[in-house]
C-alpha cells in the first residue's frame, strides 16, 4: 500500500512540474494582437479561443475598485523598453457581471486610456503621452496586468511578426507564455528557478 501512495505522490509531482508553476492568481493569456509605437503608444488584446472557456476573473480579494492595479509592458530582450503604469482604484468600475472590470482614464495626462477584464477578453490601450518606446524589439513584447494586489493576467507576443522596425512593432496570434514575469523582472521562470531561453 505504501508503494502505491509513493507512486501516486511521484506521479502528482511529475504532473505539476510539466504543467508549470503558475499561481492560482495568474492567467496565462494567448495574444490576439500586440502593438508598440514610439512616443508612448502601446496596445494588447487577448481573447479566449472558446466562448465556453472565458478567462478566470480576478480573485475575490483583488477588487481593483478598492485596490487599484498596474500594467507592465516590456521587451524581454530589453532593447525596446520596460514601462509600468499605475492603475488607481478611482478609475476602475465593475462590469455587468461579477469579476468583470473596466479602467478608464479621467485626466488627459494619464497614459493608460482603457483596460478591460471581461469574460473572454483582456485588453489595454496606452496612448502617446506615456513614456517613449524604442522599437525594434529584440525579444518578445511581454505584458503583465496586475488587478488588485495579486491577480495577474500575462501575455507574451512572440507569435507572427507583422512589423518590427524603428516606427512600429506589431505581432499577432501568440501562444500563452510559460509563466508570468517574476517580481525581479525576469520573464518565464522555470520551476527550479532558472530562466528559459
Residue 58 exposed, middle or buried by CB count within 10 Å (0-12, 13-18, 19+):
buried
Cα dihedral across residues 76, 78, 81, 85: positive or negative: positive
The region of weakest confidence among 2-6, 45-49, 117-121, 193-197 is 193-197
Q: What percent of the chain has pLDDT over 90?
A: 69
For residue 160, pLDDT beyond 90:
yes
Q: Coil, strand or helix: which one is 181?
A: coil
Place of cell 525594434: 136
Residue 23 confidence (pLDDT): 52
Taking only the tens place, the pLDDT of each residue in 22-41 is: 455 799 999 999 999 999 99
Q: Supply φ then ψ for residue 143, to 5 degrees.
A: -130, 130
**Res 188: pLDDT:** 41
The rounded distance, in Å, linking the Cα atoms of 86 and 91 is 11
Please state, in angstroms and rounded to a whole number, the distance separating the CA atoms of residues 44 and 4.
Answer: 47
Is residue 121 within 8 A of residue 45, CB to CB? The reply is yes
What is the largest distance, in Å, between two alpha-carbon atoms of the chain?
Answer: 67
- pLDDT above 70 coverage of the chain, percent: 80
**Which of the residue ranges 65-69, 79-83, 127-131, 183-187 would you say has the lowest mean pLDDT?**
183-187
Higher pLDDT, 193 or 143: 143
Say if residues 153 and 27 touch (Cβ distance below 8 Å). Answer: yes
| CB distance 62 to 148 below 8 Å | yes
Burial label for 2, CB within 10 Å (0-12, 13-18, 19+), is exposed
In what side-by-side order are the strands of the sheet with 151-157? 26-28, 151-157, 141-147, 69-75, 82-87
CB atoms within 10 A of CB 141: 30
Average pLDDT over residues 132-146: 96
186 compared with 70, residue with greater pLDDT:
70
State the pTM of this model. Answer: 0.80
pLDDT per position as a tens digit, 80-102: 999 999 999 999 999 988 899 99
Name which residue leads in pLDDT, 60 or 128.
Answer: 60
Confidence band (pLDDT; 50, 70, 90) for 74? very high
Amino acid at each position: 500500500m505504501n508503494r502505491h501512495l509513493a507512486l501516486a505522490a511521484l506521479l502528482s509531482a511529475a504532473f505539476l512540474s510539466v504543467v508549470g508553476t503558475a499561481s492560482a492568481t495568474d492567467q496565462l493569456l494567448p495574444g490576439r494582437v500586440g502593438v508598440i509605437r514610439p512616443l508612448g503608444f502601446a496596445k494588447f488584446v487577448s481573447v479566449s479561443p472558446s466562448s465556453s472557456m472565458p478567462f478566470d476573473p480576478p480573485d475575490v480579494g483583488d477588487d481593483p475598485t478598492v485596490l487599484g492595479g498596474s500594467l507592465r509592458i516590456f521587451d524581454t530582450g530589453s532593447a525596446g523598453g520596460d514601462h509600468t503604469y499605475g492603475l488607481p482604484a478611482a478609475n476602475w468600475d465593475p462590469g455587468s457581471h461579477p469579476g468583470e472590470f473596466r479602467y478608464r482614464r479621467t485626466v488627459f495626462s494619464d497614459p493608460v486610456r482603457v483596460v478591460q477584464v471581461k469574460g473572454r477578453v483582456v485588453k489595454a490601450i496606452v496612448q502617446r503621452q506615456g513614456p517613449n518606446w524604442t522599437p525594434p524589439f529584440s525579444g518578445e513584447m511581454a505584458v503583465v496586468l496586475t488587478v488588485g494586489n495579486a491577480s495577474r493576467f500575462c501575455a507574451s507576443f512572440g507569435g507572427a511578426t507583422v512589423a518590427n522596425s524603428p516606427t512600429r512593432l506589431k505581432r499577432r496570434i501568440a501562444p500563452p507564455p510559460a509563466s508570468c514575469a517574476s517580481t525581479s523582472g525576469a520573464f518565464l521562470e522555470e520551476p527550479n528557478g532558472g530562466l528559459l531561453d
